[in-house]
Amino acid sequence: MTTDPTLHQRRRPPTASELAGIPWLKLLRPDERDRAVASIQVGDALSGDLVCRVGRPVTYWFGVIDGLLKMSADNAQGQTMTFTGVPPGGWFGEGTALKRESYRYNIQALRPSRVAGLPVDTFHWLLDHSIGFNRFVMDQLNERLAQFIGAREIDRMNDPDLRVARSLAALFNPVLYPGVGELLRITQQELAYLVGLSRQRVNEALAVLQAQGSIRVEYGGVRILDLQALRTSVPARG
DNA sequence: TCATTAAATTGTT
DNA sequence: AACAATTTAATGA
């Protein structure tokens, strides 16, 4: 089930519809865009596949076309710590790509996913030539910083309903994950993995959030009704 | 296109 | 963890 990176084997050029789902392309000038499009590779990751692993040299800056990825790291005790999920429209690894270091996280597919990769050399060329690209990367870093600070607060929360609410809100972040839209495709089992709760407890939390009117639970996904309510919701009966 | 069947996901205990 | 109910996906006429 858990195998080595398959993205590095079966890759292909992106299709038109895949390109349409890459948010930063529309910020580039035509010549910049042409160069980016020519170098982008797309790969299909099966469930459980590792898109990149800790310690490997950086080859690509990655983005999710569709599917769902998990960002995690192994601590000294050998336990896996999950940081966040990466839904469609999300691009990650710019920090390590900037410094041309090795990956600091494992990125694993939670379900069959299509992953795009921009070669690190093109990434640097765009940084050197494109104002629009620089702006995107800066916004991205800024937003991600805010989200990671928020994630620390989530970890300290003991109310499962709140944890699910805040984790969902993070996945619906329109800046980091513009491909998600109104409907996040995620199963309750997948959400349970990300949040670190049992599927039963997640199911219960989703029912509470739906009763509050902030989401609608659908088969294989969650529809957002009130993102602000998810972000700021307060423990019930308290 | 429709009906049947298998697989996935959900809701509940 | 196990189970039944529900929804989707796949298959073939």
Q: Is residue A219's beta carbon less than 7 angstroms from any atom in nucleic acid strand B?
A: yes
Q: What whole-number percentage of chain A has pLDDT above 90?
A: 79
Structure tokens at A37: 């499009």
Instruction: Return the pLDDT at A111.
Output: 94
Q: Which nucleotide lies closest to A189 by the C1' atom and the CA atom? A: B9
Tens digits of residue pLDDT in A42-76: 999 999 999 988 889 999 999 999 999 999 988 87
pLDDT over 90 (residue A236) = no
Give, in Å, how far the C1' of C6 lies from the CA of A207. Answer: 17
pLDDT over 70 (residue A172) = yes
SS3 A13: coil
Strands A221-224 and A215-218 turn out to be antiparallel
Instruction: Return the pLDDT at A7.
Output: 53
Nearest CA to A192 out of A180, A208, A206 is that of A206
Quick check: A231 and A147 in contact, CB under 8 A? no
Q: Average pLDDT of chain A?
A: 92
pLDDT over 60 (residue A22) = yes
Element (H, E) at A174: none
Taking residue A209's Cβ as centre, other Cβ atoms within 10 Å add up to 24
State the pLDDT confidence band at A9, using cuts at 50, 70 and 90. Answer: low
State the pLDDT confidence band at A4, using cuts at 50, 70 and 90. Answer: very low
Give, in Å, how far the C1' of B6 lies from the CA of A111. Answer: 20
Tens digits of residue pLDDT in A79-132: 888 889 999 999 999 989 999 989 988 999 999 999 999 999 999 999 999 999
Which are the contacts of A189, defined by CB distance < 8 A and separation ≥ 6?
A199
Tens digits of residue pLDDT in A177-232: 999 999 999 999 999 999 999 999 999 999 999 999 999 999 999 999 999 999 99
* Segment A28-40 mean pLDDT: 98
Q: Which nucleotide lies closest to A221 by the C1' atom and the CA atom? A: B9
* Segment A147-170 mean pLDDT: 93
* Nearest residue: Cα versus C1' of B12: A200
Domains defined for chain A, CATH in brackets: 16-151 (2.60.120.10), 159-232 (1.10.10.10)
Structure tokens at A187: 């199963």
| Number of helical H runs and strand E runs in chain A | 9, 12
Write down the pTM of the prediction. Answer: 0.91
Q: Is residue A207's beta carbon less than 7 angstroms from any atom in nucleic acid strand B?
A: yes
Cβ contacts, strand C, under 7 angstroms: A 200, 219-220
